[in-house]
Amino acid sequence: MKDWKGKLLATLVGCVFSLLVLIATLGATLPTKDTVSKMIAQESPYVKDQSLILYRLEQIEKKLDRLLATTPTE
């Protein structure tokens, strides 16, 4: 009876270890915020302007959400 419990435990430990290795690998290969910013800065002015416009739109959207959340409704 202990034999299957040992195999199950070994399998679970192996799966957890594999997941940790996968997470560490993905974390090491994903670009950081600084890397993405540098990549955008190296692009053409159009891409810079477009990313700036998108950033400003996100900021405006956040402000509107805050205003709508604080505005009393009837």
Q: Where are the domains of the chain?
A: 1-30, 31-74
- Structure token pair of residue 36: 């993405």
Which one has a higher pLDDT value, 49 or 69? 69
d(CA 19, CA 13): 10
Choose among 42, 41, 61: nearest CA to 52: 41
**The pLDDT of residue 13:** 92
pTM: 0.39
Task: For residue range 2-13, list pLDDT tens digits in order.
Answer: 688 888 899 999
φ, ψ of residue 23 in degrees (nearest 5): -65, -45
Distance, in Å, from the CA atom of 34 to the CA atom of 62, rounded to the nearest integer, reads 23
In this prediction, residues 12-28 reach a mean pLDDT of 85
pLDDT at 70: 79
CB 51 within 8 A of CB 40: yes
Higher-confidence residue of 14 and 24: namely 14
